[in-house]
Chain A
Amino acid sequence: MTQAHFGVVIVSHVPELAKGLVALLKESAKDVPITYSGGTDDGDIGSSFTNISQAIEENTADEIFAFYDLGSAKMTLEMVMEMTDKQIHLMDTALVEGAFTAAALLQGGAPLERIMQQLKPLTVK
Chain B
Amino acid sequence: MLTVENTTTWLVTFTDKITQQTAYLSELDQAIGDGDHGSNMARGTTAMKAKLENTAFTSVSELFKVAAMTLISTVGGASGPLYGSAFLAMSKQAEASTEDVPAIIKAGLEGIQKRGKAERGEKTMVDVWAAALDALDTNTLTHHTIEEAVHETKHIQATKGRAAYLADRSVGHLDPGAVSTGYLFEAMLEGDIIQ
Binding site for B on A (CB under 8 A): 40-42, 44, 46-50, 71-72, 75-76, 78-79
Q: Pick the interface stretch among B4-12, B72-80, B130-138, B148-156.
A: B72-80
**In contact, A79 and B81 (Cβ under 8 angstroms):** yes
Tell me which residues across on chain A come within 8 A of B77, comparing CB atoms: 46-47, 72
**Would you call the interface of chain B mostly helix, strand, loop, or mixed?**
helix
Across the interface, B78 reaches (CB within 8 A) one of A41, A48, A72, namely A72
Q: List 11 A-B contacts (CB under 8 A).
A: A40-B76, A42-B76, A46-B76, A47-B77, A47-B81, A48-B73, A71-B162, A72-B78, A75-B85, A75-B115, A79-B81
Across the interface, B72 reaches (CB within 8 A) one of A42, A71, A76, namely A76
**In contact, B74 and A76 (Cβ under 8 angstroms):** no
Q: Looking across the interface, which residue of chain A has its beta carbon closest to that of B73?
A: A49
Tell me which residues across on chain B come within 8 A of A71, comparing CB atoms: 78, 161-162
Q: How many A-B residue pairs have CB under 8 A?
A: 44
Q: Interface size bucket, B side?
A: 10 to 19
Q: Looking across the interface, which residue of chain B has its beta carbon closest to that of A46?
A: B76
Instruction: Write the B78-90 contact mask toward A (1 if CB under 8 angstroms, else 0).
Output: 1011101100000
Any chain A CB within 8 A of the CB of B170? no
Most chain A CB atoms below 10 A, which of B78, B85, B115: B78
**In contact, A78 and B115 (Cβ under 8 angstroms):** yes
Q: Looking across the interface, which residue of chain A has its beta carbon closest to that of B72?
A: A49
Tell me which residues across on chain A come within 8 A of B85, comparing CB atoms: 75, 79
Are A72 and B80 also in contact (CB < 8 A) when A46-B36, A46-B40 are?
A: yes
User: Told that A47-B81, A75-B82 touch, could you supply 12 new A-B pairs with CB distance under 8 A?
Assistant: A46-B36, A48-B73, A49-B72, A49-B73, A49-B80, A49-B81, A71-B162, A72-B78, A75-B78, A75-B115, A76-B80, A76-B81
Across the interface, B81 reaches (CB within 8 A) one of A40, A41, A42, A72, namely A72
Q: Cα distance A104–B81 when bound, in Å?
A: 32
Across the interface, B84 reaches (CB within 8 A) one of A41, A50, A79, namely A79
Q: Cα distance A76–B73 when bound, in Å?
A: 9
Q: Looking across the interface, which residue of chain A has its beta carbon closest to that of B116?
A: A75
Q: Cα distance A50–B81 when bound, in Å?
A: 12
Tell me which residues across on chain B come within 8 A of A42, comparing CB atoms: 76
Query: What's the nearest-Cβ distance from chain B to residue A58, in Å?
Result: 17
Query: What's the nearest-Cβ distance from chain A to residue B114, in Å?
Result: 9
Tell me which residues across on chain B come within 8 A of A44, comparing CB atoms: 76
Tell me which residues across on chain A come within 8 A of B36, comparing CB atoms: 46
Q: Cα distance A44–B77 when bound, in Å?
A: 11
